[in-house]
Amino acid sequence: MTTTKVRQMKQAGEKIAMLTSYDFTLAKLLDEAGVDILLVGDSASNVVCGNQYTLPITVDEMIFLAKGVVRAAQHALVVVDMPFGSYQISEEEAVRNAVRILKESGADAVKLEGGEEVLPAIRHMIQAGIPVCGHLGLTPQSVNQFGGYGLRAKQDAEADKLLKDAKLLDEAGCFCIVLEKIPAALAAKVTKAVSAPTIGIGAGNATDGQVLVLHDMLGLNTGFKPKFLRHFAKLADEVNTAVTHYIEAVKDSSFPSAEDPVKRGHLRVNGYDHLPHTSYLIPHTSYIIHHTSYLIHLQCMA
Ligand code: KIV
């Protein structure tokens, strides 16, 4: 997937499926299932690190998470959130941090929150060849300014500003724009007014695509159920059942049993099963013995 293909999907009327992703194993599953865009969201601050807000996560932490997602992505475009403080101070710093994120993680694009206020930073990044995804509406890095996570742009003034901001981001060359928690009618209006695809979350279904936080849509966060969220699975229950059975099996000594392949001792590298230890070690050991005896032989000859 490329940013050009994402734009073409809007023109072709093909909806764009984006999900957040924070690690190799799950990113591989999402990629294999055919997700178009993997977003290494700064929601990692909440669902991975357990913080109340997205604000504490750092550029280094985002790069660490993005590396695993990039290694897994064979098909999907990987977009990384620029964390709070990494693009607001100056345009130079914004470009420097975006360059670091792309160079060190191997991701395809960055996303950042805000409209006119961050336009100079966005323009500099795009001039530097960095694909940028915008984010308007409920921008969680501004939670302290908003005073909560409620619906945005309900009043005309904020709705007018959002429409204007979307047009500015579009003109600046953003390849897509996330619209979070705004009225569906406004999201539809923005979607018609811009050439960049819009990706909605809690913004109705007239947008060009949808994004959800993976842990929320998989039902891993049982305590979090905003109105717009659909649980596509109930993984918290699955995990609880599996772990309860594991604990019981350990406590009553039924695990491991004769059927469990402990003797084969699988070696796992990068999430894949490799050769059993024994067959891996035998040629390796014979190579060391052979090599060592050759060196002894050379020393004796000298
Ligand atoms: O960080 C995130 O997960 C996001 C999505 C909610 C769009 O920005």
Q: Which atom of ligand 1 is nearest to the CA of 178?
A: 7
Global pTM value: 0.86
Q: Specify the residue for token string 């007239």.
A: 206
Instruction: Give the pLDDT confidence score for residue 150 in this predicted structure.
Output: 86
Per residue of the chain (302 residues), give pLDDT as tens: 999 999 999 999 999 999 999 999 999 999 999 999 999 999 999 999 999 999 999 999 999 999 999 999 999 999 999 999 999 999 999 999 999 999 999 999 999 999 999 999 999 999 999 999 999 999 999 988 898 888 999 999 999 999 999 999 999 999 999 999 999 999 999 999 999 999 999 999 999 999 999 999 999 988 888 999 999 999 999 999 999 999 999 999 999 988 876 655 555 555 555 544 444 444 444 444 455 454 444 444 43
CB 233 within 8 A of CB 67: no
Q: Locate 74 and state its tokens.
A: 């064979």
Question: CB-side exposure of 170: number of CA atoms within 13 Å?
Answer: 16
Task: Assign domain 3-237 to its CATH architecture.
Answer: Alpha-Beta Barrel (3.20)
Annotated catalytic residue: which of 180, 238, 248, 259? Answer: 180
217 lines ligand 1 (CB under 6 A): no
Under a CB-based contact definition with an 8 Å cutoff, are residues 194 and 170 in contact? yes
- Residues β-bridged to residue 180: 137, 201
Locate the DSSP E strands across 86-239: 109-111, 132-137, 176-180, 198-201, 209-212
- Determine whether 113 is an active site residue: no
Q: Give pLDDT, residue 69.
A: 98
- Mutation test residue for ligand 1: of 40, 54, 139, the one with most atoms within 8 Å of CB: 54
CA–CA separation, 10 and 4 (whole Å): 10
**What is the reported pLDDT for 173?**
98
Q: Specify the residue with its C-alpha closest to ligand 1, atom 4.
A: 41
Domain boundaries, the chain: 3-237, 261-302
pLDDT at 77: 98
Which of 14, 95, 25 lies closest to 268 in space, CA to CA?
25
Q: Which among 152, 105, 98 is positioned nearest to 121, based on CA atoms?
A: 98
Quick check: 126 and 169 in contact, CB under 8 A?
Answer: no
Query: Which 8-state DSSP code applies to residue 227?
Result: T
Question: Please, what sign has the CA dihedral across residues 39, 45, 46, 52?
Answer: negative
pLDDT of amino acid 147: 87
Q: Does the beta carbon of 170 sit less than 6 angstroms from any atom of ligand 1?
A: no
Own/partner contacts of 204-209, CB < 8 Å, gap of 24 or more, are: 207/179, 208/9, 208/10, 208/15, 208/16, 208/176, 209/9, 209/15, 209/16, 209/17, 209/18, 209/36, 209/37, 209/176
Burial class (CB in 10 A: 0-12, 13-18, 19+), 64: middle
